[in-house]
Structure 1
Amino acid sequence: MDETLADGAPREFVREKKVYFHHCDPAGVVFFAQYLVFVNEMVQEWFEVGLAVDYAGLLRERRIGMPTARLECDFLAPSRMGDTLRLALSVDRTGTSSCRLRLVGTGPDPSDVRVRITALLVCTSLDSHRSVPLPDDVRTAMRDWPAPDPNR
């Protein structure tokens, strides 16, 4: 199930990320594994800011993890030190105990797609390391995200 707004546009959590020296390989382009770090950062920030779910509390107090079970990555163009990437996270679908997210990274021009990543996250108990249903508050936050604009 694609997660879209009423006008048909995908719901996106967007952040800009400046590319620093430590993100790059000896060729001067973003080392591919750094994009996976960007995904992890985006997921945590989306939980905290977009969904208003305390990600650290989910792990520490509630003993719920959201590990990545599957990744698909397409690296389409290089990003270099000094570039600013536009990273857009969207929900492709949610299941009983998982969600599939998409991350698209572009340069300043939105048609300049640098990377496309699909990540399957599985909700797990940190005690048993087995999948568990997404907590109701997390599922509701994902379903209702983004919250309707009260000024509309």
Structure 2
Amino acid sequence: MFSNTSEVEIQFGDCDPAGIVYYPNYFRFFDNATAALLSAAFKMHKRHWIAHHGIVGIPMVDTGAKFSRPSRFGDVVEIRSEITDLGRSSFGVRHTLFNEGEIAIEAHEKRVWVGRDPQDSEKIISLPIPDDVRAALG
């Protein structure tokens, strides 16, 4: 299945008083890495693929991570993101964050392809993943 690699330089503001990345910031990194993964697969920026496919977005419905090694201000980490499964309207993503070539974090996400409910525009509903998206991610 499709994969992509992103680099992130750890900033001072990403860190807690102990000088290591405050763990919620990793989930922000992973969210950006998922957007980069899909942007690479679709060969267009997130705002364009959202408009192109007429969706509201890809909200996360499940996530988790195993933290093995800390990262600190100034570290440049690599995030390898890959699609792990494609359901009717959901898909899985695995992120592996490397620091100095060693696995620092292994994380997963479950995302849902969603749009507006045609009968109630205030409500979002899951939509089937289109065939062209399935082909790009498969």
TM-score (norm 2): 0.86
Unmatched tracts of structure 1, length 5 or more: 4-10, 144-152
- SS, match of residue 126 in structure 2: coil
Match of 2:65 in 1: 73
- SS, match of residue 82 in structure 1: coil
1:17 alignment partner, one of 8, 15, 18: 8
User: Aligned partners of 1:131, 1:106: CA distance in 2, in Å?
Assistant: 33
Match of 1:150 in 2: none
1:59 alignment partner, one of 41, 50, 69: 50
CA contact (8 A) 1:13 1:46 kept: yes
Match of 1:107 in 2: 99
Pairing 1:96–2:83 present: no
CA contact (8 A) 2:39 2:49 kept: no
CA contact (8 A) 1:53 1:138 kept: no
Percent of matched pairs sharing the same residue: 23
Deviation (angstroms), 1:57? 2.9
Unmatched tracts of structure 2, length 5 or more: none
- 1 or 2, which has the higher strand percentage? 2
- SS, match of residue 62 in structure 2: strand
Matched positions, count:
132
**Counterpart mapping for 1:1-152 below 5 A:** 3=1, 12-60=3-51, 62-109=54-101, 112-126=102-116, 127=121, 128-143=123-138
CA contact (8 A) 2:30 2:95 kept: yes
Q: CA RMSD in A?
A: 1.7
Deviating beyond 2 angstroms after TM superposition, the runs of 4 or more aligned structure 1 residues are 57-61
